[in-house]
Structure 1
Amino acid sequence: MRIGEFARRTGVSERALRYYEEQGLLTPERRPSGYRVYGDADVAAVRRIRILLGAGLNTAQILEILPCIVDEDGWLTPDCPELVEALREQRARIDSAIGELESTRANLDTIIGREKAAVSRGTRPPS
């Protein structure tokens, strides 16, 4: 199938598909005319790519680990022992980022709370 049909079938824009190809994540067949031709295996590859992007991995990381990912009945499973450790490290980075965001939110809540209190007391500072 050509890129337009493939984009509709996968729910991914043509631009994103071209980007995946530039990053080495997809390697569609090329006709002599230059048109890309995708097959059913590419549909599964895009599904894996989207899941891994949704898990917070970037395209460079995905390119590295894609050969170690097995799709078993719709579930992605790591097939290389070193991949599990890399995924744990990624999860730790995400946990750290969540902690930082929670701290930032708490700081904003404090500022918002002070603003509300000042308005209710009528002592709001001039803007």
Structure 2
Amino acid sequence: MSARSLRHYEDEGLIVPSRFSNGFRDYCQSTIDRVLVIRSLLESGLPVRLISQALPRPTDGSDAGTDAVCAEFLHEVQSYRDRLAARIAVLSDQRAALDAYLRKARRTDRRTGP
């Protein structure tokens, strides 16, 4: 995990690391666990905007709240998944139409070829 990514998560309010007396960030185990959840959600295709709106907010660096997934967040994830499935269906239909066009064009080309 890059420092830049961690700072971005902090800027988005996704994590709240505690600080040492010298100002350095201290990433406790619960914050590290939360970062792993965030990375997993990002890799699943969820945008940071949705994650930051729906994931329970941490209050400090000691309790990141990764164990308690609220029902609202699950609803948002399901809704995002449903929109994604609808887009996939549209793309699949478009691919099928292009495949049909190419098959027809190839048959026509063979009949009129050299």
TM-score by length of 1: 0.62
Amino acid at match of 1:21: E
5+ long unaligned stretches in structure 2: 58-64
Determine the C-alpha separation between the residues in 2 that align with 1:88 and 1:102: 21
Higher relative contact order (CA 8 A, sep 6+): 2
CA-atom RMSD, angstroms? 2.9
**Residue in 2 that maps onto 1:74:** none
Determine the C-alpha separation between the residues in 2 that align with 1:62 and 1:121: 55
Which consecutive segments of 4 or more residues in structure 1 shift more than 4 A?
31-34
**Residue in 2 that maps onto 1:92:** 82
**Residue in 1 that maps onto 2:72:** 82
Going from structure 1 to structure 2, the CA distance change for 1:29 and 1:116 (only over 3 Å counts) comes to: farther
TM-score by length of 2: 0.68
Q: What is the 5 A alignment of 1:41-52? A: 41-52=30-41
Determine the C-alpha separation between the residues in 1 that align with 2:105 and 2:4: 45
On the 8 A contact 2:17/2:27 being kept in 1, the answer is yes
Going from structure 1 to structure 2, the CA distance change for 1:106 and 1:64 (only over 3 Å counts) comes to: same
**Residue in 2 that maps onto 1:29:** 18
Identity, % of aligned positions? 33
Alignment coverage as a number of residue pairs: 107
Going from structure 1 to structure 2, the CA distance change for 1:110 and 1:81 (only over 3 Å counts) comes to: same
Going from structure 1 to structure 2, the CA distance change for 1:118 and 1:41 (only over 3 Å counts) comes to: same
1:113 pairs with 2:103: yes
Q: Which has the higher strand share?
A: 1
